[in-house]
Amino acid sequence: MALFRKVEKASLEIADLHTRVAIRDSKALFLGTLTIPVGSFTALVRSLRATTIREGTAGHGQE
């Protein structure tokens, strides 16, 4: 059983399913859960961090 972890100041919950990552909106559970491969999730996070750094907003709500 995966344990979802809330992302601070957001309604997203993320769970590690070993080979996949599950993402859901804790305020709208009826919408279901999105699962993606771990590698794709890692690429997404890296891309978002790189974008944040380029835009000069690093440190604002990160981690």
List, as one string, the DSSP characters of the chain. ----EEPTTSSEEEEE-SSEEEEEETT-GGG-EEEEEHHHHHHHHHHHHHHHHHTT-TTSS--
pLDDT at 49: 87
47 is a domain residue:
yes
43 is a domain residue:
yes
Q: What is the mean pLDDT of the chain?
A: 82
The residue-averaged pLDDT of 19-42 equals: 94
The residue-averaged pLDDT of 20-26 equals: 93
Number of domains in the chain: 1
Q: How does residue 28 score in pLDDT terms, banded at 50, 70 and 90?
A: confident
State which residues form the domain around 37: 5-54
26 is a domain residue:
yes
User: Residue 60: is its pLDDT beyond 70?
Assistant: no
62 is a domain residue:
no
59 is a domain residue:
no
63 is a domain residue:
no
